[in-house]
Structure 1
């Protein structure tokens, strides 16, 4: 079983699970959790380990952006719920990480490197690509170290998860019961009672009722409070457009940052690992060291390195097939490998937690400086970016100071910084426009007491990492009550619909009562010019009927066998009501081949449930302070 778990951990199941976890971490900004920040305001502690406000802010912002990408700009309105979700995720990760370490799980640098190189997201033509890796990493705002830490934590958390899932089991009775329930079929009949059946009937709403509804719901008939604002915008993109470096400046910048334009030394390596037991003693390491020295001596006497390697077979041994830069080489090897400068050189024995390693250089590529002409565009882009960011930081500070020192106007700041004063369109607090008002934080600040009532300049508002603004109110339109005469028809239509729905609900209940009293459903339906429908046996995932009809059918109690009587239920439909008659229940079954597949699914479900209970248990036992 332990070997099975190990195989799965290195196989496609773990790959899918861990890739999802890692990419989720990246999307959520959880890398800030691992690297920490400069903000010492603590929002939570897990067994004494702190989670800071900055970590929560980054995680929340990434979660908000993810929601907007998936569901649109208005998807992430509930800020409090999103922040709580982000915080709970940070807490859960720390709890599971600590639990894995406490239970003795471990992830080596070699496992991390192996997993990284196997991730299809970073492969080109089936091979790991450093360029592809760096491209994706730069777009996620993660450093190499941060991402490797993500992989380590993901693999660490994944080990107990797979251990629980893959050791779960289900008893035959559990599988049989689940099959009977999931594959159950029900013989149903039903009728649709459309709302328009009642809307087409005369419904008279008295003027007094319309007026009473208006008086009781005045808040529903208020025009939204609106305003527009003047603002100064500071944009990194706009600052970048002003910077035009000369050839001499670019050459100087290139020389000062020459390491950024140098392809690092790369090696093709072969290795021999002389293993030691997991609980190795000093004597075990001494024995391995002697074997390594004997191997070196044999190689010096003319024996082939690859033949010696065959005496110590291991999947971890390198075969000299792939080019590797220093950061891709296991950390314990790096110092020794950095000193190998010629093909054929062999390192001195390297001690690692798993044994003694010998490394041989099969081939080597010396560092290569890329000429300025080849990287001119990159140099120019880097120069502009660096100087624009410096200028952006300087002007942002000046903007904050000037608008604070002159709170009743934007003119001084605009003149000093040579930035125009722009004007937004009208917007309300809950309805965005197409300009800066599409940002909720802008609307919140604009309608704050300091800006709207005291008429001060706002603080600096960051719209995105490259754009900030300061705003002040330009004009304000207060909320007003819409006259009754302008919305009387709207209220009348609403009350008619409510009355029609009430009639439909009563009709449905009366119809059900007649069915329960023994009336023939087909005859009864025809008397109201409605149709009684018969479906025969259908499964719980059928698309043959409306989902509300299906849900009701599978929630009704089974009729008494051989009684000839159905059980009935009423359900709300999108455009009316439905009445469902359950005639009989047929339990589900499977053949032997399908049974084995289903049993495995039940087992996996049990494992996922057990892991969820494991997570809840770990959180319950952890000392969490929020």
Structure 2
């Protein structure tokens, strides 16, 4: 069972699941090859346009957010992952989902969204919603407070649509049996392998061959143009030494916040982390039956057969919360309201309530955490206040300096005067090539400026470049080293390795032809091993998608057709890593279909249903895009091509 679970979660399991359960899945990420007329609109969903500038901004923000989370991430890799077409497709999908939600009459009020916002712990200090923290956080991720509230409403609606498909899917026992039979299948094989690297290492290449190759390929060994930048960088940190916050200013700020807290009333009231299970009252199940079902689940909790979160996922009928264990969040008495609040705030931590009636149905409630905030003292808040006021004043100085730098960088032929006037240092980057930028040149927007001929030639300064909400830079090409011929001594090792690989690849091709000829003559694996002068090795009990002593051979092993009972099958093929192998498939043993107890069977079917639910939603997403009013103008992201795609 553990091996089956591991397989399901791996790439092999997902591929196999698609082959068994979803025989024909069309991806929702279309590729269009003709675009629209030149313009700013790059897509339309119904009557809603998506503008190129919005997509480009979303790309920039997404990349910046990912860099904040993973500072060591290679910027070049990030550029290949987060592209404008990919982001546009995601934005189109979101609009299609929201259109479906609103067409169905689904909506969420500003009050509901605001309530969710107030409960988000990321925006709380000592259990209390903090407006300043909220604004700083959302602006760092490219939002304003109002657009973030809209994003919350859209996300709630989109999740309801997704949950309607993903959480209502189910799996049948025969599907699980088929998946286990193939997913836990084991294969035994014997093989001979010729590796490109081993053959290359055995090839002797003379200095004369290296020299001849160098002379005939001089154009391949040019050191590209190198550039060096000088630049002025503006950020909050640049003004750290210019900000001094007095003790009186700290106390005034503390007193002002205390007055706001008192005016809010209840800012320091008790909050409880609440989870629930919901049993709805329907035409088929009256109140008594719903209470009986709740009592049955409560008895399971008392017996200790499973925890609250597990049973909520299995039994709760609140699709919005059941997959996260029924968690409702950190709530005040007022936010919960009515009898639910009365019962919840009478519970001890960890205690489970008796069944409770509400307009939605019958609830079981539990409290996982109790927080009784107290009003912080000045000394407790002093450091946080100091940092906030410093940042605020640094932001003010930055906001004043940014337009001044922009104006002076345009008016002056270099950056010396702007740096001196603003009291900032003139920084210098290392030399770099355009294909391998370093330092400040690795920033995407800086490289975009270097595409301007006047900037790359050093004739003028760049425009003011906004790297983030609080980081700006102006660059200038300070030095340029033209393309030069690399000396033989610098590249002879690379040439020797290249010639060795070429010779090894030719040998592999010859050995492949030789092995195929032997097979056609009826020879066995031993004959191929003799011809290749390599030993025969074994793989036993290899599982699909699992680890083995030779994963490259094992992966190809499962592409081979199943031989007749008692027979073997031998094939010669190139592995995905370029090596050559002859493989004899000896035995195939299917996974055990039986052997799961009732709980394991239920867990496996639930996991399978979750995967099917995801596939179902992807197919629905494809259908909605195909039948909806969706127009894409992908070429407008990069060029002004003619035409329109619908």
CA displacement at 1:479 relative to structure 2: 1.5
Whether 1:571 and 2:574 are equivalent positions in the alignment is yes
CA displacement at 1:108 relative to structure 2: 6.4
Instruction: Answer 1 or 2: higher relative contact order, Cα 8 Å, separation at least 6.
Output: 2
Q: Say if 1:262 and 1:369, in contact at 8 Å, map to a contact too.
A: no
Instruction: Give CA deviations for 1:338-371 in whole Å, capped at 9, x if unaligned.
Output: xxxxxxxxxxxxxxx99xxxxxxxxxxxx99988
Match of 1:412 among 413, 417, 440: 417
Q: Which residue of 1 aligns with 2:44?
A: 45
Match of 1:500 among 501, 504, 511: 504
Q: Are residues 58 and 448 of structure 1, via their aligned partners in 2, closer, same or farther at CA, if it must alter by over 3 Å?
A: closer
Could you say what secondary structure the match of 2:223 adopts?
coil
CA displacement at 1:499 relative to structure 2: 0.8
Query: How does 1:454-473 map onto structure 2 within 5 Å?
Result: 455-473=459-477
Instruction: Give CA deviations for 1:526-547 in whole Å, capped at 9, x if unaligned.
Output: 5654221233443213423422
Could you say what secondary structure the match of 2:593 adopts?
coil
Q: Which segments of 5 or more consecutive residues in structure 2 lack a partner in the other structure?
A: 1-38, 272-279, 282-317, 319-329, 338-358, 361-372, 633-646
Query: How does 1:162-561 map onto structure 2 within 5 Å?
Result: 162-170=163-171, 174-195=175-196, 198-199=199-200, 201=202, 203-204=204-205, 207=208, 211=212, 215-216=216-217, 218=219, 220-247=220-247, 264-266=264-266, 324=332, 375-406=381-412, 408-433=413-438, 435-446=439-450, 448-453=452-457, 455-484=459-488, 486-522=490-526, 524-525=528-529, 529-561=533-565
CA displacement at 1:549 relative to structure 2: 0.7
Q: Are residues 204 and 214 of structure 1, via their aligned partners in 2, closer, same or farther at CA, if it must alter by over 3 Å?
A: same
Instruction: Give CA deviations for 1:492-535 in whole Å, capped at 9, x if unaligned.
Output: 33112221122124214423442453334336525654221233
CA displacement at 1:625 relative to structure 2: 3.9
Q: Say if 1:263 and 1:368, in contact at 8 Å, map to a contact too.
A: no
Could you say what secondary structure the match of 2:538 adopts?
strand
Q: Which residue of 2 aligns with 1:341?
A: none
CA distance in 1, matches of 2:46, 2:624: 11
Q: Say if 1:187 and 1:538, in contact at 8 Å, map to a contact too.
A: yes
Q: Say if 1:229 and 1:472, in contact at 8 Å, map to a contact too.
A: yes
Q: Are residues 123 and 500 of structure 1, via their aligned partners in 2, closer, same or farther at CA, if it must alter by over 3 Å?
A: same
CA displacement at 1:591 relative to structure 2: 0.8
Q: Say if 1:226 and 1:479, in contact at 8 Å, map to a contact too.
A: yes
CA distance in 2, matches of 1:522, 1:55: 63
Q: Which residue of 2 aligns with 1:606?
A: 612
CA distance in 2, matches of 1:268, 1:66: 34
Q: Are residues 257 and 74 of structure 1, via their aligned partners in 2, closer, same or farther at CA, if it must alter by over 3 Å?
A: same
CA displacement at 1:404 relative to structure 2: 0.9
Q: Say if 2:525 and 2:583, in contact at 8 Å, map to a contact too.
A: no
CA distance in 1, matches of 2:215, 2:64: 40
Q: Which has the larger radius of gyration?
A: 1
CA distance in 2, matches of 1:417, 1:137: 29
CA distance in 2, matches of 1:386, 1:119: 24
Q: Are residues 603 and 394 of structure 1, via their aligned partners in 2, closer, same or farther at CA, if it must alter by over 3 Å?
A: closer
Q: TM-score, normalised by structure 2?
A: 0.65
Instruction: Give CA deviations for 1:181-224 in whole Å, capped at 9, x if unaligned.
Output: 32333332211223465346554569578645764572x42213
Q: Say if 1:165 and 1:611, in contact at 8 Å, map to a contact too.
A: yes
Q: Which residue of 1 aligns with 2:101?
A: 100
Q: Say if 1:522 and 1:532, in contact at 8 Å, map to a contact too.
A: yes
Which shifted more, 387-396 or 569-578?
A: 569-578
Could you say what secondary structure the match of 2:473 adopts?
strand
Q: Which segments of 5 or more consecutive residues in structure 1 lack a partner in the other structure?
A: 1-39, 270-276, 279-314, 316-321, 331-352, 355-366
CA distance in 2, matches of 1:387, 1:82: 36
Whether 1:129 and 2:135 are equivalent positions in the alignment is no
CA displacement at 1:242 relative to structure 2: 0.4
Whether 1:78 and 2:79 are equivalent positions in the alignment is yes
Q: TM-score, normalised by structure 1?
A: 0.67
Q: Say if 2:43 and 2:50, in contact at 8 Å, map to a contact too.
A: yes
Which shifted more, 149-158 or 386-395?
A: 149-158
CA displacement at 1:130 relative to structure 2: 2.9
CA distance in 2, matches of 1:419, 1:385: 18
Q: Which residue of 2 aligns with 1:154?
A: 155
CA distance in 2, matches of 1:261, 1:412: 48
Give the CA RMSD over aligned residues: 4.5
Q: Which residue of 1 aligns with 2:342?
A: none
Could you say what secondary structure the match of 1:428 adopts?
coil
CA displacement at 1:619 relative to structure 2: 1.9
Could you say what secondary structure the match of 2:391 adopts?
helix
Q: Which residue of 2 aligns with 1:65?
A: 64
Q: Say if 1:64 and 1:82, in contact at 8 Å, map to a contact too.
A: no
CA distance in 2, matches of 1:73, 1:79: 10
User: Paired residues, what number?
Assistant: 499
Q: Say if 2:75 and 2:442, in contact at 8 Å, map to a contact too.
A: no
Q: Are residues 209 and 101 of structure 1, via their aligned partners in 2, closer, same or farther at CA, if it must alter by over 3 Å?
A: same
CA distance in 2, matches of 1:81, 1:117: 31
Which shifted more, 252-261 or 491-500?
A: 252-261
